[in-house]
Chain A
Amino acid sequence: MRGLDELIAAAPTFAGLSQDQLRLIAACAVNERFPAGAMLFREGEAAEHFFLIREGMVALEVQAPGRRLVIETLQRGEVVGWSWLFEPYRWQFDARAREATAAVVFDGACLRAKCEADHELGYQLMRRFAAAMTQRLQATRLQLLDVYGHGRPG
């Protein structure tokens, strides 16, 4: 089985980090498995971790009165969660394993402390999370446009 730093290095979000940086990050991480249907986190709970999906699929969900909506699904190689980065460190959505899922789970407080101590590491991580957030923001904007809703009359 590959070491955690190798697993992390293979994820697009962490591409290009140095071996030393990968080792620092890996020291804050553990492997974990979630059976289908298990919750990774729930809205309102303290955001103490984030997740790099190794296998499986995770759904971000929101509870509305009488129904549950899936906002987005995430899969292998993608990162789940960035509320651990910003105060008040609370999850905004639910995350549920849609199928049996293996993930690298990172301790947010551990990583924040390392980023405070090593600003270069903090900058590199922030750049990568900002890129992932931008990509998701663009996707959300496209989702909001509801582009399939209107055909050309004829």
Chain B
Amino acid sequence: MGAAAELTRPRPGPMVPASFTVTGKRQETADTWTLELEPRDGARLEFAPGQFTMLSAFGAGEVPISISGDPGGGPLVHTVRAVGLATAAICAAKPGEALGVRGPFGRPWPLEELEGADVLVVAGGIGLAPLRPAILALLAGQERYGRLRLLYGGRAPDQLLYTAELEEWSARGMEVAVTVDSAGPEWLGHVGVVPRLVHRARFDPDSAGALLCGPEVMMRFTVSALAQAGLTSERVRASMERNMQCGTAHCGHCQLGPTLVCRDGPVYAWSELERWLAVREL
């Protein structure tokens, strides 16, 4: 089989992991790593910002991880926090080693719907990772949008992701505000929670759209602050995390109300979600 035929060879079905090689690795925080992956069969994994893959360390397990790379090109990028057996094994993978990838899966951020409007990107903690592709796409096409703002909060200064890139995004025209929940006097930025940044941000509430990702409690408080600023829940999109296992809407583990997060999410309009988030234990 020729090289061209190799590149266009269809991937195996969605339940079969493709083999990817770790080609780059960067430590973001004490427990979080960013991995760059290249497919062993040479065919780039095309994705839309907001989608996720099922990422596996062979012999350890498989987990849903949002794609953090540039949708315009480059390697497949995942930022992973080591919180369990599978994620610890993925974070421990060294350059040259293989990881399994299924996907991409899920509904992406609706960036086309935001054209002409101010866009508020609101991230908490590792929630910046699923938003990174959207930020890169917004900056690449920023002439099509109004003001671009990133409001990013973390637990402490040493737990912030992509710190060098935050400055780069700011230099490219995105207004970036960063806050941490607690800090010593050596930190010269904001201290306080993300919703406080919403109260300070200026945007046109009649047309703006917001993209949210972070801990669910943080998102609820943020939506409340956005509502006080005049932004209705229809124009707020949030990326949800549930127990995705198959990624193909068959197993039902990620059910959220009448929806399956792997198929109908992970990105939802908040107006689709709020009814179900009010149900305890859901």
Residue-by-residue, is B181-217 near A (CB-CB < 8 Å gives 1, otherwise 0)? 1111101111111011001100000000000001101
* B155 at interface, CB cutoff 8 A: yes
Are B182 and A69 neighbours in the complex by a CB distance under 8 Å? yes
Q: Which of these, B83, B184, B200, contacts A152 with CB under 8 Å?
A: B83
Query: Which residues of the partner chain B approach A48 to less than 8 Å between Cβ atoms?
Result: none
Query: Which residues of the partner chain B approach A67 to less than 8 Å between Cβ atoms?
Result: 184
* A3 at interface, CB cutoff 8 A: no
* B103 at interface, CB cutoff 8 A: no
Query: Which residues of the partner chain B approach A72 to less than 8 Å between Cβ atoms?
Result: 191-192, 196
Q: Which of these, A59, A138, A154, contacts B86 with CB under 8 Å?
A: A154
Total count of chain A residues near the partner, CB < 8 A: 28
Nearest B residue to A142 via CB reads: B193
Nearest A residue to B185 via CB reads: A68
Q: Which listed segment binds B: A27-35, A80-88, A108-116, A143-151?
A: A143-151
B70 to chain A, nearest CB (A): 25
Query: Which residues of the partner chain A approach B215 to less than 8 Å between Cβ atoms?
Result: 147-148
* B276 at interface, CB cutoff 8 A: no
* A153 at interface, CB cutoff 8 A: yes
Q: Which of these, B188, B192, B196, B243, contacts A98 with CB under 8 Å?
A: B188
Are B196 and A147 neighbours in the complex by a CB distance under 8 Å? no
Given contacts A148-B125, A152-B83, A154-B61, whether A143 and B184 have CB atoms under 8 Å apart is no
Query: Which residues of the partner chain A approach B77 to less than 8 Å between Cβ atoms?
Result: none
Nearest A residue to B196 via CB reads: A139
A113 to chain B, nearest CB (A): 31
A/B interface sample: 18 pairs, CB < 8 A:
A61-B185, A67-B184, A70-B184, A70-B185, A70-B191, A73-B190, A142-B195, A142-B221, A143-B181, A146-B181, A148-B126, A148-B214, A148-B218, A151-B87, A152-B83, A152-B241, A152-B243, A153-B83
List the interface of chain B (C-beta within 8 A of A): 61, 63, 81, 83-87, 124-126, 154-155, 159, 179, 181-185, 187-193, 195-196, 199-200, 214-215, 217-218, 221, 241, 243
